[in-house]
Structure 1
Amino acid sequence: MINRKILNDKFIIRNAILDDVIEMEYVQSQCYPTLHQSEILDRNHFANHIKIFPEGQVVVEKEGKIVASASTFRCNFPEHDSTFLEETDNLWLTNVQIPDGDWMYGIDMGVLPEYRGLGLSKEMYKARHEVCKILGIKGQIIAGMTIGYGKVKDKMTIVEYCEALEKKEFTDPTITPQRNAGFRWIRILYNYINDPEAGYASILMYYPVDENYSL
């Protein structure tokens, strides 16, 4: 469904296949050094994601090497707060994937450190949006990690950080690019993810296919 060259033909973005899962596992291991091991995706998780929702799994490759990947599932709009493990069926997605769900929930996006700053995340968001349009999905949902909190955690609480972030008083390395890519703030999810550098929090956001759509 997705398979094209991007960024002056230097990279290829495409749907993931089973042959990619070992390299996807490596990307994951390099991207989340402070995330608890229980919340790190491995090759078996990626293989199951490809099995149950192949259209929603994306990789970026350069000269045959996977340098970035993104994982999603289909769902209905989340009405209640949950943890990352609860939302993802302990990372497997099997029991949360709804084949005719109205939304695409992005649970993971990683870019190898040496390839950051080139716009690969934005390209993956665009590819996922394209899949939403093809499948008739309303748009994307994400829970962005407040990873910038680690630099100011000795000066303020995570509550203060998130409230300031909502007012755009801070630039967060994860949340700010996501908002710049088109994602809209919904609410703060405290105690969502097991990562002290993120203050254990994330920001629930959505990016509708229809720009006039609002919650």
Structure 2
Amino acid sequence: MYRKAFYAMDRATPVPALIRNYGEADFAGLIEIQSEAFPPPYPSDLWWNEEQLASHIAHFPEGALCIEVNGELAGSVTSLLMDYQPLGKAHSWPAVTDDGYIRNHKQDGNSLYVADICVRPKYRKLGLGRELIASLYHVVVQLQLDRLLGAGRMPGYHRYAAEMSAERYLEEVVAGRLQDPVITFLLRCGRTPLGVADNYIEDEESRNYAALMEWRNPFKA
């Protein structure tokens, strides 16, 4: 089980924070966070429900983490193990996460896949998303996996979709000529783009595209 107490920084003020595994008592709060973190036009039926959350802790509790700030739930990250081959075919979020239930979690998988990460908007300036991602890096190292893998939304893409492909948009963000709220954040967290997945998830802002990104375990060749 995972437990990390630390101080998040609210500008110059240290704020007590804790990352731990989430459980049944947290479900209502986690769903509330989803509704705040993913407001319309993001589809509300893609927020976690209690059945999905129960499946997370039943199949892979090690990858079901939440973060508290001053005792209040402030965010979460959910993951599963999968076998990933770099030359494998593209995948969608519903397929790789079993529609969010992660019943396809492979205990002997080689990669940790991020199913979801979200932070309550009022806490987004405290660097909690980066701390949650770092916690998954710890899980990758502890379980001696090859990588952390996940596909990031590209919510800024809809402003450029008429003039460039999703692949070109990703290139522009990586080059620093454009900024994207999600992809730029993931780059700051040490993630490396592998390519673009189309029809990844229903997401009007991203035009249903996502950037597949990885973090390789530095202790494995």
> Under a length normalisation based on structure 2, what TM-score does the superposition of the two structures give?
0.88
Give SS of 2:89's match.
coil
Q: Which moved more, 1:135-144 or 1:159-168?
A: 159-168
Listed as ranges, the gaps of 5+ residues in structure 1 are none
How many equivalent pairs are there? 212
Partner of residue 74, structure 1: 81
Q: Which amino acid aligns with 1:204?
A: L
Match of 1:128 among 114, 129, 136: 136
Separation in 1 of the partners of 2:211 and 2:166? 12
1:105 to 105, 113, 128: 113
Equivalent position to 2:48, from 38, 41, 46: 41
Task: State whether residues 5 and 18 of structure 2, in contact with CA within 8 Å, keep that contact through their aligned partners in structure 1.
Answer: yes
Task: Name the Cα RMSD after superposition.
Answer: 1.9
Are the aligned partners of 2:155 and 2:181 in contact in 1 as well (CA < 8 Å)?
Answer: yes
The answer on whether the counterparts of 1:194 and 1:200 sit within 8 Å (CA) in structure 2 is: yes
Kindly indicate whether the alpha-carbon contact (under 8 Å) linking 2:15 and 2:69 is maintained by their aligned counterparts in 1: no
Q: Report what 2:70 is aligned to.
A: 63
User: In the alignment, which residue of structure 1 is the partner of 2:2?
Assistant: 2
Are 1:148 and 1:197, in contact at CA under 8 Å, matched by a contact in 2?
yes
User: 1:177 and 2:173 equivalent?
Assistant: no
Give per-residue Cα distances to partners, 1:140-189, cap 9 Å, x unaligned.
10100001224445655545423423433211110111111111110101
Match of 2:146 in 1: 138
1:97 & 1:12 partners in 2: Cα distance? 26
Q: Is the contact between residue 39 and residue 85 of structure 1 (CA under 8 Å) also seen in structure 2?
A: no
Paired amino acid for 2:47:
I
1:125-204 correspondence to structure 2 within 5 Å? 125-153=133-161, 156-204=164-212
Q: 1:67-99 CA distances to partner (integer Å, 9 max, x unpaired)?
A: 1000000011152212211111111110x2001
Amino acid at match of 1:17: G
Cα distance between partner residues in 2 of 1:37 and 1:82? 22
Unaligned stretches of 5+ in structure 2?
9-13
Q: 1:182 to 1:211 in 2, by over 3 A?
A: farther
- Look up the equivalent residue of 1:122 and give its one-letter code: R
Q: Distance in 2 between matches of 1:83 and 1:164?
A: 23
The range that moved more, 46-55 or 156-165, is 156-165
**Residue 26 of structure 2 aligns to which amino acid in structure 1?**
D
Partner-residue secondary structure (3-state), 1:194: coil
Identity %: 25
**Native 8 Å contact 1:165 1:171 kept in 2:** yes
Letter paired with 1:181: C
